[in-house]
Structure 1
């Protein structure tokens, strides 16, 4: 424990992505003095380039047992939808082993229940958060569509519909005609799909972060552009060590996504099995009006989300760690994947590629917890559902800090699923 330093703030939030900023705003509006620390400008990490899809329908883990059969292809195909860099394989194997253990029936059901609990409350939490900052127009609640092209995929679609229905996920089966009526720009080769009415998307995910930052600043939140290098518990809270000195707070919230493991271990002594899914997108600025809502391809395994700045193609996953340079050909591959999915090819002039880090734990659930006698709060590991679950996570963190805070969307007992000590 460090020498006692008088706390300079109530809560220091490490991480200025969508989750950290949403939490900071929620806490400030409960009367807390809040400082947000990040080495980048707010929203410039994974929050900048996510698919923009509010994926409340995604209640199943990121992988199933078929991943074993796909492992050779993951290693050999640099453009495949799920890629494992062979140089990263030795470091990735322990994580994948834990992932497979979490696919056993009891563990699998715990994951599904945990994802469902968060996702079922996510849209309502976003409605409350955006209403609180007078920006409800940033979110479109117009559903999303999963399409299939091959007749032999119909059985998989029907099976998925059954599984979704069993989990009380609202889903409608659409014929080819229904798809064409709702999204006439899609190819006639599409056989049908599943429509998820209780989903939505953001017109500009980065602008959402910026609006939250503006509201947070208006509520007294201070943003510091510093790199947190470590931290120590002390009698009255936590002392953070940054590249510009030390900062003391009564509590710290670790919400820095894929970069959260080191500080968590420094403060709690717990080594968390956190890895990163490297996600890519390709932004097409000349395709603003091509689709009415987000469309995902079952066979091609990518998503197209309409935004104010164009059409965003996203969805590939690469396991290569935090330090390997990005392979932007994977982003451009998304445009090639779109060929034949629409009646007319998407325009790629002035397109911009991007890569970011999604923080993933082997059971596909985030860590949302309060440890070390309440001095350390945790909110990371949301994998590809960080945008979806950011607002509900902020409400849950607020419950940890102020138990009488209302509304209480899940209730504190439900937070057991997201505890740090499950690892």
Structure 2
């Protein structure tokens, strides 16, 4: 019925169609509806069932550096040969991934590296306050615990790297404190006494249930009249008065469209704008331990083991690892179970993995580690994707930016009051 109403109308009956029902798309839809716009969200999955369902739950404002550094060259053989390594590249996917990795390496040169860090930092610095505003508007501030987070180390030889990281973070004005071993034990007594200390980040936090955050946003959006349609978008085209989208079961029309479908955004962006974006996916895994409550007061990351443990309402979530294998390859759930093995030795008593559930999701990544947040095609097309592993962190601030971009004059670029959005423009590619 909705398709018929939209596709047969002489003028678009929707103000904006949001393609993508993950945390970024749903947060944007809510903000757009609060501006009085008629909004439809369309996705082939139910809201929050993609990468937003299983993220680490960490509000990672301290992570201001790109997803990789030049040491990736030294690690390339291990990436290809070790299926359980923290950073893996499927050798079968190498021919398709190689151009993306070349661009990644080029962006690690000094000038583009500085632009990347400035771009990530600009979003992250506003992310905590944006989430406070958004959760307060839902009357759900308790979904975010602002207890900080901790990066621990366990080998004496790692101290130099830890000190160097702390110095680099302080150069970027990231709040960080060194904690000796006793401070770690005082704050998280169930961690192993073998840990030598760590870096504490006071201006970070964690979500007790990331999927519930999406559901709360959906409920608030529906209360404002936002419609949700479960359907696969096959393509789109620009119209003189808006945008037409082709779906599996008919067409949709709207005055504007927001492409926010994460790792699946490249095809629709190309169809609407004529510009190909070098979007790939960091496949991430988690293992949810339902019998592990009250082990940690906040999210804890291991420097050497390269994974994170986040306390949540439903247990303890072990998350991490990066796998480059594309959108079509089946998940290797052994990588999720590897997270439990990695946890051994980090606690005085081992973690209980009974009834644990593994998961894999697609994190959308661009080779400069920055998202695309833009308004193009005379204002008919809005873009919000490519947040890599910072989608949850940056969702609320991205939604605020998109709401302002949607309200900008049709002939203008970024509206006043949004300094720095040039770093996230589509035309940088």
- Map 1:163-242 onto structure 2 (within 5 A): 163-242=168-247
Q: CA deviation at 1:244?
A: 1.2
Q: CA deviation at 1:187?
A: 0.5
Q: CA deviation at 1:89?
A: 0.2
- Of 402, 405, 414, 2:407 maps to 402
Match of 1:44 in 2: 49
Q: CA deviation at 1:288?
A: 1.5
Match of 2:152 in 1: 147
Q: SS of the residue aligned with 2:362?
A: strand
- Of 360, 363, 370, 2:365 maps to 360
Q: SS of the residue aligned with 2:52?
A: helix
Q: SS of the residue aligned with 1:347?
A: coil
Q: Which runs of 5 or more residues in structure 1 are unaligned?
A: none
Match of 1:350 in 2: 355
Contact 1:20–1:255 (8 Å) recurs in 2: yes
- Map 1:16-415 onto structure 2 (within 5 A): 16-403=21-408, 411-415=417-421
For residues 173 and 346 of structure 1, the distance between their equivalents in structure 2, rounded to whole angstroms, comes to 26
Q: CA deviation at 1:412?
A: 2.3
Q: SS of the residue aligned with 1:413?
A: coil
Report the aligned-residue RMSD: 1.5
Q: Which runs of 5 or more residues in structure 2 are unaligned?
A: 1-6
Structure 2 residue 419 is the aligned partner of structure 1 residue 421: no
For residues 241 and 5 of structure 1, the distance between their equivalents in structure 2, rounded to whole angstroms, comes to 17
Q: 4+ residue stretches of structure 1 with deviation over 6 A?
A: none
Contact 1:4–1:234 (8 Å) recurs in 2: no
Q: CA deviation at 1:409?
A: 12
Contact 2:28–2:398 (8 Å) recurs in 1: yes
Q: SS of the residue aligned with 1:107?
A: helix
Contact 1:231–1:263 (8 Å) recurs in 2: yes
Contact 1:3–1:234 (8 Å) recurs in 2: no
Q: CA deviation at 1:4?
A: 9.4
For residues 314 and 133 of structure 1, the distance between their equivalents in structure 2, rounded to whole angstroms, comes to 27
Q: CA deviation at 1:3?
A: 11
Contact 1:5–1:234 (8 Å) recurs in 2: no
For residues 135 and 16 of structure 2, the distance between their equivalents in structure 1, rounded to whole angstroms, comes to 23
For residues 169 and 3 of structure 1, the distance between their equivalents in structure 2, rounded to whole angstroms, comes to 53
